[in-house]
Structure 1
């Protein structure tokens, strides 16, 4: 009886190990004698952007935090009103930064050229309020920027060009990538004297590239709009998709 019990216990202890081993997968499995081929292929499509995202705001400085913030609020209200008057919908205007920070005086330079060692002294406060804006009428972008500067904005950064609905362009890139992957798989298979049997796995990496780095407009001294609208070139956005496809090859 004792020996029978020990054998039963040993057999029971093996079952979890067997179940665990069955759950382990080393990736796509090919039939005996067949070959696994992994291909990476890139597909692209281009579109003209239909959306420009930029930041606009006001930075003010005063002796006290309250005074800096009060002046900032007056000027920022004028900037937001100018945005709405220029045709920007309220849903496309969102506060992105509202801050008040101390301004420190510079340390006094000593005759020997070094600086006097002392604790920082607050000489005023700086308030900043910025909004993120989505401009949908790209042909009006330069005019809107000029209007903001005339209304009192002294911080304008952008644009970041985007596509409002990129799905169609991305799907074009995906189709091109898959065609390239299959053509490349057929090429390898033919060169090796094999044929493509089936697809085992597909994965992708996707994104788009802007046509140029962001432009920075306007500083504090630019408080009046120029006679001609600021020129802006939207260019094109390139959608890129890379697919990783595994194929099974057979003789």
Structure 2
């Protein structure tokens, strides 16, 4: 019995040493295979943050564009008179008479009173320079109207008649075309924009191997295309044929940005 005591002491010491070795180190559980890469806490944190972004406010963000083209139904004409006379009173009287005659001629085409608007009225002196001295040449009165013409088939005839009525002192700043009621076009463009966005989101979800969820945010932008302006110089003489005016087309564009949830 005395001979076995040292052996027992050695056995207990070995067991204690093995237990201390197992407690030393940061990993617990099944040991990693030799050569395996163990993710660091920072890497695990980044992955967790990415997953959190998908489930909390993340998703698939796409934009969609819809364009619809229509035919204008209204012409806006900017026309008036510009009169230069020696005195202010004479310039005002002549400009008023010519503007009244212009209105009368336009009303004869059935243009309603609500389609007329005074867009500019101004009075200012004019000078010229001779021998480095300024000399008063007279006073200019300008009376400008904005007129909506809805009968586009007669637009050229109307513009020409108005210019003839005002004579050499007519000022035509230009014409522009528009669609008076374009709500149906906007709705059609919106439908096209949504279909474009949904198609893109569905494709991205398929490529990523995830399910496309409900939209969580939608932003819309509407932008009508600028109407073309047709400018004209002062007109002093006219042919017998009506001035040709082509309405062309007008486009409305709707764009949407949509965020879809994942799953």
For the aligned pair, the TM-score class normalised by the smaller chain equals: 0.7 to 0.9
TM-score, normalised on structure 2? 0.75
Any gaps of 5 or more consecutive residues in structure 1? 1-28, 109-115
Partner of 1:214: 229
Over 3 Å counting, the alpha-carbon distance change for 1:193 and 1:229 in structure 2 is same
Shift of 1:218: 4.6
1:45 is matched with which residue? 68
Q: Which residue of 2 aligns with 1:232?
A: 245
Structure 2 counterpart of 1:5? none
Structure showing greater Rg:
2
Q: Which runs of 5+ in 2 are unaligned?
A: 1-51
**Which structure features the higher share of helix residues?**
2
SS of residue matched to 1:53: strand
Q: Post-superposition shift, 1:203?
A: 1.2
Q: Give the aligned partner of residue 144 of structure 2.
A: 130
Q: Displacement of 1:66 after TM fit?
A: 1.2
Tell me how far apart the structure 2 counterparts of residues 193 and 34 of structure 1 sit (CA, whole Å): 19
Confirm whether residue 151 of structure 1 aligns to residue 165 of structure 2: yes
The 2-side partners of 1:216 and 1:155 are apart by 11
Distance 1:59 1:34, change over 3 A: closer
TM-fit CA distance, 1:107: 4.0
Hey, what does 2:190 align to over in structure 1? 174
Between 136-145 and 33-42, the greater mean CA deviation after superposition: 33-42
Superposition map of 1:13-162 within 5 A: 32=55, 35-108=58-131, 116=132, 118=133, 120-152=134-166, 154-162=170-178
8 Å CA contact retained: 1:57, 1:76 = yes
Structure 1 stretches of 4+ moved >4 Å: none
TM-score (norm 1): 0.78
* CA displacement 1:106-149 (0-9 Å, x = unmatched): 242xxxxxxx3x5x432211100011101101111100011011
Q: 1:190 to 1:198 in 2, by over 3 A?
A: same
Q: 1:34 to 1:208 in 2, by over 3 A?
A: closer
